[in-house]
Every structure is written in C-alpha cells, then in structure tokens.
Structure 1
Amino acid sequence: MAASQRRFRPIEQCATEGRSRQSVAADLDGTLLLSRSAFPYYLLIALEAGSLLRAAALLASVPFVYLTYVSFSEPLAVRAMLYVAVAGLRVKDIERVARTVLPRFYAGDVHPEGWRVFRAFGRRCIVTASPRVMVEPFAREFLGADVVIGTELEMDESGRATGFVAEPGVLVGDHKRQAVVREFGDKLPDVGMGDRESDFDFMSICKEAYIVTRKRYRAAPRDQLQSRAVLHDGRLVRRPTDINTLLTFLWLPLGLALALLRVHVTRRLPPRAASAYKLLGVKLVVRGHPPPPPSPKNGRAGGVLFVCNHRTVLDPAMLAAALGRKVTCATYDSDDDSITSSAPLVTLSGNRDLDAARVGRLLDEGHDVVVFPEGATSRDAFLLRFGARFAGLTDRIVPVALHARETMFHGSDPYLFFMNPRPAYEVTFLNRLPRELTCGGGRAPGEVASYVQKALAAQLGFECTSITRKDKYRVLLTGSDRRVPLND
C-alpha cells in the first residue's frame, strides 16, 4: 500500500485556481470527512430509524466488523455492518434520519483540505461505499455535490430494507472505478480524491489524483459549508464513535435512575426553591433583568406576557424558577401538566376570540402568563399566527430566550434532558417591548409578533424566515455548534 501511495500526491499539493470548469470525483469517509470510519453514521441510523436494541447490537458487532475489515475484505465488513444497521427498517425512515439527523454530525466532521479542494470544482461527484440514501441529503445540500454515487440498498415489496445490497454490490475497489466510468463516460474526472487502497482504482483513471493523508486536522468551520443551516432532530449530542457509544450505554442505567429522581423532585418543587436544582446536578443560569411581581410599590397592576421559544417540556418550570414565582402557562396540550404541575395551566381551545379573552382576563387580574408560539407553527413565520393572537392583549410583553445545554442526550422529553450527567438551562430575559412597539403604541399584532420573533432569533442565533413545524430545527451555523434548535 505504501508503494501505491507514492503514485499520488498529497491533497495539500492540489492547486484550486482555475478549477471552476473542471470536474472532481471524491471518496467520502476519510477524504471529505475526517473520520475514516462510517460507524457513527450507521449507529445513528440504527438508533433513530430503529431502536436502542438495534444500536446495542451494532455496537456489539464492532469487533467482528473490524476483524473482517482487517483480515478478509472491506466489502464484507461493510455488508455485515449494513445488515445489522438497516435490515427490516423502512427505507422512508432511513431517508428521514438522513435528512434530519445525520447532517448535523456530518457537518462537524468535514476534512478542511478535502473540502478546500472539492469546493473549487464546477462539477462535483462523491463516490462512496456508504449507502447513497444515507449520505445524499448532506452531500448535496452542504457539500454542493452534483452527483452522489453510493451503495444501493436492496428493498422488498413493502419498502423495507432487506439488509443486503443491490447490484453491483458495495462500492469499493473496481466497483468504484466502474461507477465513475458510467457517470463520466469518455470525459473522465479532472481530479480524483481518496484516502485508502480501495480508492486507488478510480483515482488512477482521473487526469490528476491526490491522496488525503492521516495528518491531524480540525474539522472545517461549519459556516464555510455550502449551507449555513443545519437540523438537529436526534437524541444524541456527540458524534457516536464506538467509544462514545460504549460510554453512553454504560451511563444509561445510572442516567435513567437520575432522570426519574429529577423529574419526581421537579414536579413538587416550588418556584422559590430554584437553588434545589444545584443539589440535583442541574445548573440554572438566569440572564437579563426579570420583571418584578405585580405590586403597588412598583406601580404594576397587570400581569406580564412572557413570549418564549420552546425548548423542552420543562420550559414553564424553569421560567418560574428563574422568576422565583408562579407563571400561568397557556398551552394546547394539557398533558404538559405531567411535568410542570408547579406552573398553573390554561388549556387553549383553538377558538381565537375565546382564548384571547381567557388570557386577557388572567393578565388583567395580575397573573403572569407564558406562551410558546412555536406550539402552533405553520407556513407563516413561527410567531405570526399564534403570537399575533395575543400581541394585542397587553403592552407588557417580555421576550424570553431559553437554551438547554446537554452533553449526552438531546430532545424535548424531560427524561432525556434529565438523563444528561450535568444538564443546564439558560433563561435570558430580553428587554420589555417599549410601548411604541406594542399594539398600544399603534402597531399591528403581526408587527409586534414579528419583532419578538426577530429578537429571539438574534439572541439564540437562529434563522428567522419561514420556520415551519417540519423544519423548525434550523439554526444558523456560526463556526461553533453551541446553539440549540428553537423547538424539538
């Protein structure tokens, strides 16, 4: 293999000037991605489209797959891992995970040199041993690939993956070369990029070929990718390498017991006992200036309308703890009471006038009310239908940005959040809207709602256009991945 590598120059020597009219064919794992192993992405498919048991089975297969890869063949190792990961799953579910879960993890694993070269070309082709259905959404949207050639899954008549691969088989070695020839015909790629011996066949037919060596690099900044928005619709925070996955499974029994304790205490914890969260290992960070409670001393007779992004079911409880007093939560889902019993609920009926009257009456009586406009998103901007309904009820509107920090598990479910070893909640109170920006100052309800939307988006770093129930996880990439989705 060392002798074969000397035929190809290292990727660092590839010039990118004047490549806009040329074509490139590149491998994915180890070439455009830093990781040479596709295991984390198979694991995500097994977990998110399958089950925890399937993910555990895939983890248990790692020694066998590695031994097969080293001692026998790469195609056989890929077939074994693929069978455990997808056999019996609906292909539609695999596509959903590939679209909503995998891009976030792929985007944090892009090889800076591979991406520097790949992005310079006018026609970009990715040829990979991974299933095409698994990599294509990310490859097209974030890497700007024009063509994605990958291993094709075999499906039965019901649309489920059999666990086997369709002809011509796993795309490694000569199969990769043949796939490139079929795609490009007589006009072969100007540049070929790969990282291992099984890539050499297709690299050798390209006019130029460069190999990605195992030098240590940090992942390319995410804001340099083709798309600046990413989805987070999965249950894991970190990329599930074999070691990370093993540690996660070892933590599960203790994490579940800890979550049950935290949920039990939270149900009974009064708002003024926020310091008790520290004893549970939960960090509550309060930023900004929470408005004082209604009192003749501060001249406040009516309640405050808190408008928040929706992060988890714990939002009302955490807001109440940050304020140190009860708030009434306006919601369409009375089941939220299972975890936020410390926050009184007003269940909305869906009748615009009736709901507005009920909330308005609470505000007039001095009750603080919290609404989560994302609970009724549509093809309009996320506040404009739900938020505008309440914007005219009061001039006392305070936007609140909620950010849940997790280290292991992600999701809106309180048990998932509390299973993290050291979870944290950040509650940021933004400035109360000045009267001239409220309906009392002559603004239309839609204008007020739009202003609040933009204020929350600016605080949390979110995209602020046409967030819908389907894609409300979109968040702008700013080089780091600290920000969380607006909703889960």
Structure 2
Amino acid sequence: MFSKAFSFKTLVLFAFRLLLKQFRNPKGLHRSFSNAHAKFQKYPSLAHRPHKGFGFVYFAPIYLFCGDEMGLKVMVMVSFFGIKEESFKAGRAVLPKFFLEDVGLESFEVLRRSGKRVGVSDMPQVMVESFLREYLEIEFVVGRELKVCCGYFVGLMEDKKKIVLDEIFEDEKISSKIIGLGNFNRSHDHHLFSRCKEIYLASEGDRRQWHDLPRDRYPQPLIFHDGRLAIRPTPAATLAMLMWVPFGFTLALIRSVVGLFLPYDLLIPILGFSGLRLTITNPNKKTSVSKSKQDITKPKTRGHLYVCNHRTLFDPLYFSFGRKKPVTAVTYSLSRVSEFLAPIRTVRLNRDRNQDAMMMEKMLSKGDLIVCPEGTTCREPYLLRFSPLFAELSDEIVPVAMDTQVSMFYGTTAGGFKCLDPLFFLMNPSPIYTVRILDKVCGAKAEKSGIVVANYVQSELGKALGFECTRLTRRDKYVILAGNDGIMNSTRKKR
C-alpha cells in the first residue's frame, strides 16, 4: 500500500520529467518519414507541452488538502493526459530508485517470509508494476488501469482490483495462507484483508521509525536509473527545489563563463568559491616523479594515456582542472552543444575498432589523452565493462578513479537531451568531485591480452572507489532505460 506522502513524491517526480519538456521543440523532433506518418505527426504527445509540468505544480494543493481518492485522481489526470502509451518509461527507468528508498527494513522482512506475493496499489499499475516485480520479486501486481485512446493515455483510471484479486485467490491453497501488510489509515482495502489469515498494519508514525532497507539487502541491485532529480521529492524538498531553480540557472551560467574563459589559476578558486568542490590525490606522486627523473634523458614522443571510470561528462574537465593542464578527451557520445562549449579538446569515436585505434594513436602522438572505456555513465557505485581497446595503445596506462556527489540534480540522462547535462550538473548548489590518480599499469603485451589488462584496470578502480565491477555494457543500460541500443541515428548511417 502507498501512503499519501509517498504518492505525492511519486507524482512530483513524474511531473518534473514533464516539466523538462519545455526545453524541447516538438516540431524539430518529430520527423516525417513518409506521408503515412505525417498524419500522426500533427498531434504529438502532450508530454512535450511545457504546461503539463506547470499544471501539476498548480494543482498540487488540491492533492494535499482534498481527500486521498479525489486528489489522486486529479493528479493522475494532470500527469498522464496526452502521454503516448508506448513512450512511457518512467515506471521502469525513474521510479524504482525512489520506491526503494521508501522501503522499510521491517516491512521487507515480513514480505520475505511469504511464498507467493501479491502487490496491491491504488496508483496506476504502469507506475508500480516494474518496481514490484523486478526489485521486490512480487509475482502478482494489482493496480488501477489507465484508459487509453488511440495509443494515448486520457488520464482516467479504471479500478478492476476486486475482479483480479478474486481470480488470484481462487486457489484454495493460496486463500488459506494469506498475510496482509497495509496502511493503518486506509479502510478501503477490506476486500483484500477479509481474505487474510494475518494482517500487519502500520501507521505513519510507525513508518517514520522504520529503518531504511540497506543496499546490500536489495533483492536485485539498482545499477541503472534515469531522471534528473537527485533529491527525494517530498513536499518540502520539492518547494525548495522550485525556489532554487532560478538562482541555480543563473549560477550555472556564471560557472560556465568562468570555466570557459579564465585561466586555471583564476578559475579554480572562483569555482571553488561558487560551490564547486574538487579533491585530487596522487598517492604515489613521489614515486612517479623519481621515475620521470630517471627517464629524463629519453625523448618524449607520446603523451600519457589516462583511463578513468565515467560518472559525468565533466570527468575529463575536472581531471584537467586538477592538473592545471589541458588534456584531450575521447568520447563515445557527446552532444554537439557540449562538444562546442568544451574548454578542452574532445574527439568523438565512431565505434569502428580500427578507425578508433588510429584516431587515439594520433591523439597520443600529440599529447596526453584521457578515455572512459565504459562508454557511458553510471550513477550508482558500480563499474561497467571496460572496452579493451585502450590497453593496446600504450605501454603504460594511468588509471584515474572518479567519483561525484550531487545534492539536487543529476548531470546525466539516457532518455532526455544530453545537451542539458552540463546545465543540470552546474545548477547543483555544491557538487563534489573526487579524482584519484593510481599507479601506472603496463599495457597489453604478448603474454597479456587487452581484455586481461582492461579487467585488471577495472578491478583496481573498483578497489580504489569501493565500487562493484560488473560485465554490463552501454547497450544494457540503454535497453533498460530508453528502450534502444544507445547508438545515434547518424552513427548507424555511417555504418
């Protein structure tokens, strides 16, 4: 069961994604591939309209001061009306993170005692089904169905819980061993609880005393999630966020100008004064210096190859700031806007192994190079699989461990516009970046393949950061969050 405050946070989070659509231009985004599609392009999804998000903010007091039932219906109507059914991915990409943060350890332990699990919610089923099935391992999810017309949600809910529950509980073996877990303040679940052998009810006071479910107790690890909000969208936090946005936007512009046009000796203290925090450490600096003195007589024909994990598009930039020295960055995907505004040189890879190797060799011959072999960002403490290409390009590789913390907005996205990533990151009041340079690693040789070296570098970065290494790839991330393979159309055409 979902409480009133929990429902409010969920709907605020979903509506915030709609509010971001004001940055979009539907006419520019919808392409006419043929005359057959032209008819449908005249009526783009209303999720692209900016007034959707503002409408939610306008109607929010109705939800808070009216009854739960009426308030929920109004907010669902405002949030879902005009959204294309097949394009709705927030239920799987965004909401599970916030749902997991609201799971209490005590209720989770009761849930794990049961055999077959049935989740019942007054919220739309499309919002909760993915979370309950994938992260709490609930076999049956019963929620309210949203009515659809011509492939678009109309914002009206249809309650068929009684019929569905009757079908589930037809089995006598199930109906005789039912344990109910619900909200003490809800009385409309009588049809469900009347079938339960044991009933556990929790009040709002009880829920406030619950312990948060530890990450290591998650039935399935939360590795990927999307959305811009990094805060839990409680009423107070949402109000603070809305009040901060105008100031944050101005602050982001100031930080951008400082980072683009001022030299390192000036921009670093100014950005620090504005709230940007950077910590860079090199534990073996003395050792590396002594080695460089021994090799001082050798002519330097190539630059150093730095390999880092990927947290945001600012990874190479903060590394450059910390060293007070420009470095060339190679990327697998970077928006044209970010590429144009980047204060350091960036080179786009085209996912052709031979061409990418030649390009990186060329860049190394001109100076230092930094690469993120994961190919995409990961917000949680996990490392994705490293592409082994970098291990074959240099005899010496310098791993660089990157980590960042934000307090309000995420500077990454899978389903949104990547050109807004820098803006949202810089809108945070005080984002923190930590850069740690590790010991050099030998590149791939006859006795070591590139895959072995790549896995070793990944493990060393994982140990330094306390992150868990995985075999997941960029494609896995985009299939889960955006429903595609993460390759832009232009790249496909080149192929």
Matched, 1:430 2:438: yes
User: Which segments of 5 or more consecutive residues in structure 1 lack a partner in the other structure?
Assistant: 1-27, 475-488
Deviation at 1:382, TM superposition (A): 5.2
- Cα distance in 1 for partners of 2:406, 2:65 equals 34
8 Å contact 1:304–1:363 — kept in the other structure? Answer: yes
What residue in structure 1 maps to residue 72 of structure 2?
78
Matched, 1:363 2:364: yes
Matched, 1:451 2:443: no
What residue in structure 2 maps to residue 11 of structure 1?
none
What residue in structure 2 maps to residue 123 of structure 1?
116
Deviation at 1:179, TM superposition (A): 4.1
- Cα distance in 2 for partners of 1:415, 1:270 equals 21
What residue in structure 1 maps to residue 180 of structure 2?
192
What residue in structure 1 maps to residue 390 of structure 2?
390
Number of matched residues?
420
Matched, 1:29 2:2: yes
- Give the root-mean-square deviation of aligned CA atoms: 2.8
Following superposition, which runs of at least 4 residues in structure 1 exceed 6 angstroms of deviation? Answer: 290-296
Task: Name which of structure 1's ranges 353-362 and 142-151 shifts more when overlaid on structure 2.
Answer: 353-362
Matched, 1:471 2:477: yes
- Cα distance in 1 for partners of 2:5, 2:348 equals 51
What residue in structure 2 maps to residue 3 of structure 1?
none
- Cα distance in 1 for partners of 2:479, 2:260 equals 28
Deviation at 1:46, TM superposition (A): 2.1
Identity of aligned residues (%): 30
Among 197, 207, 212, which residue is 2:202 paired with? 212
Matched, 1:160 2:185: no
Task: Name which of structure 1's ranges 290-299 and 123-132 shifts more when overlaid on structure 2.
Answer: 290-299
Deviation at 1:186, TM superposition (A): 5.4
Matched, 1:38 2:12: no
- Cα distance in 1 for partners of 2:119, 2:97 equals 19
What residue in structure 2 maps to residue 19 of structure 1?
none
Alignment-mate amino acid for residue 285 of structure 1: T
- Cα distance in 2 for partners of 1:82, 1:472 equals 27
8 Å contact 2:319–2:435 — kept in the other structure? Answer: yes
User: Which segments of 5 or more consecutive residues in structure 2 lack a partner in the other structure?
Assistant: 22-49, 378-382, 413-420, 481-495
Deviation at 1:199, TM superposition (A): 2.5
- Give CA-to-partner distance per residue, 1:198-220, whole Å, 9 cap, x none: 23342123222221133222322
What residue in structure 2 maps to residue 248 of structure 1?
241
Query: 3-state SS of the aligned residue for 1:375?
Result: coil
Query: 3-state SS of the aligned residue for 1:198?
Result: coil
What residue in structure 1 maps to residue 345 of structure 2?
344
Matched, 1:297 2:297: no
- Cα distance in 2 for partners of 1:265, 1:223 equals 41
List aligned pairs for 1:308-323, cutoff 5 A. Answer: 308-323=308-323
Cα gap change, 1:269 to 1:317, in 2 (>3 Å): farther
Query: 3-state SS of the aligned residue for 2:374?
Result: helix
- Give CA-to-partner distance per residue, 1:138-158, whole Å, 9 cap, x none: 11111110100001110112x
What residue in structure 2 maps to residue 14 of structure 1?
none
- Give CA-to-partner distance per residue, 1:412-431, whole Å, 9 cap, x none: 31110110111111112222
What residue in structure 2 maps to residue 235 of structure 1?
228
What residue in structure 1 maps to residue 87 of structure 2?
93
Query: 3-state SS of the aligned residue for 1:229?
Result: coil
Deviation at 1:362, TM superposition (A): 4.0
- Cα distance in 2 for partners of 1:406, 1:305 equals 28
Query: 3-state SS of the aligned residue for 2:102?
Result: coil
Deviation at 1:230, TM superposition (A): 3.8
- Cα distance in 1 for partners of 2:401, 2:107 equals 37
The structure whose residues are more often helix, as a share, is 2
What residue in structure 1 maps to residue 279 of structure 2?
285
What residue in structure 2 maps to residue 419 of structure 1?
427
